[in-house]
Structure 1
């Protein structure tokens, strides 16, 4: 159990706990500890509001420590997939994927590898124009990039850009606290569309109510935009039902064409 959560259970972090509980009450939400008692879940107090918020140990190897998760149904066809994340993080995942391919002619994907990592090899990378207000700092991949570009071109892109700027300021302020010698943490975050759901994943060491509220606001804007595609047919050359991690092979040449020379230095944050 994390020290932060232990403090919550023992009352040592009553101020933070009280703030989150008060926020939940004001928003018509209910706070519950998970069955494993290693995090919590925030759910609507009444039916009809499907947004679910979770905080607990990270479920992804590319996000360390504790993780904030938000998820909801979009109504988008289940074969559609897409991922948006900071450019530095996506490039790091591409390098990790490439490194797994070295030394063999063919790479068989690990069944435990997060699906969004496999999308990097199979999907279409969004170009700078398609990223709209997020270009330069973020990168995206999808099985059909046109719908994702349209999604990000509107209020969704503006909301995510505003959230990211505010979050980077929060991380910088945390690093400037008296006694802290840490550098501002990079933005650990991913927004995923998969199997009809929108999922937000964010590194969050402590359950800061301002960070949770800010993420929820940006997520709701992205969710509203995504639901605009629920009634639209989105074609796909490769649906999710066709992807079998235990059977899919990827050649080194395909990975190299995406990654570039193995000696390329890591991208700067």
Structure 2
């Protein structure tokens, strides 16, 4: 037990030193950086971020379609609760579609249950965007939503431009990436073997662009009746350990 605690302490201390640039960047943005309980991941909380409270986590993947570790982010915007849209890597979309089809044909299920992640359930439930003006974005990403017109509008303008740029290096072809709006928030999830400050900063810019465009779309919504929704857990937060050394 003692040796295990010593090993944990050394891992946490080494990671804290390696992630010092990320720690300093978070603090420069009035955010709080904390190591995960096991010292193998971290959490950044920035309550006063713009356009909304920001939470960033890096650690073990919470999705089967991402192996190893991932970066996940959430920005709280208080969007319309029924504004459900998703943009994802096109290769990942094709893989998830096959997975859903095989799972429910093999077991003779007739409906998608709530244990299935939103990413997979939405592929069955919501219409896909068929018109994307940017050829590069159309080739590399897919989009869908409870309202296809709004989802298509989201994937235009500023967000389309930043995704086209990201596809050249930050999000290479086949790299797992999901961007979603639900429960009033915007979520980003992507594979990341080792966290680096430049990559995190670039992905925050992608998220911020998605948030600005989501707010624009939100302004177009009518209050006439609810849209169909789905519910499940999109985010399982890691609990940081306040006592883990960070210096």
> Is this a same-fold pair by TM over 0.5?
yes
1:34 matched to which residue of 2? 36
Alpha-carbon spacing, 1:236–1:161, altered in 2? closer, same or farther (3 Å) = farther
Which among 176, 179, 184 is matched to residue 188 of structure 1? 176
2:121 matched to which residue of 1? 118
Alpha-carbon spacing, 1:108–1:212, altered in 2? closer, same or farther (3 Å) = same
Counterpart contact for 2:47–2:53, Cα < 8 Å: no
What is the 5 A alignment of 1:1-269? 9-11=12-14, 14=17, 16-35=18-37, 37-44=39-46, 50-103=53-106, 106-129=109-132, 134-168=137-171, 186-233=174-221, 238-240=227-229, 243=230
For these two proteins, the number of residue pairs brought into alignment is 224
CA positional deviation for 1:22: 2.5
Which deviates further from its counterpart, 226-235 or 44-53? 44-53
Gaps of 5+ in 1: 170-184, 246-269
Gaps of 5+ in 2: 233-247
Counterpart contact for 2:70–2:192, Cα < 8 Å: yes
Alpha-carbon spacing, 1:36–1:231, altered in 2? closer, same or farther (3 Å) = farther
d(CA) in 2 for partners of 1:23 and 1:7? 23
d(CA) in 1 for partners of 2:66 and 2:97? 15
> Under a length normalisation based on structure 2, what TM-score does the superposition of the two structures give?
0.79
Q: Over aligned residues, Cα RMSD in angstroms?
A: 2.9
Q: 1:193-237 deviations in whole A, cap 9, x for unaligned?
A: 111110000111111111111101111111111111233225788
Runs of 4+ in 1 over 6 A off after TM superposition: none
Counterpart contact for 2:43–2:55, Cα < 8 Å: yes
1:261 matched to which residue of 2? none
1:180 matched to which residue of 2? none
Counterpart contact for 2:123–2:144, Cα < 8 Å: yes
CA positional deviation for 1:25: 3.0
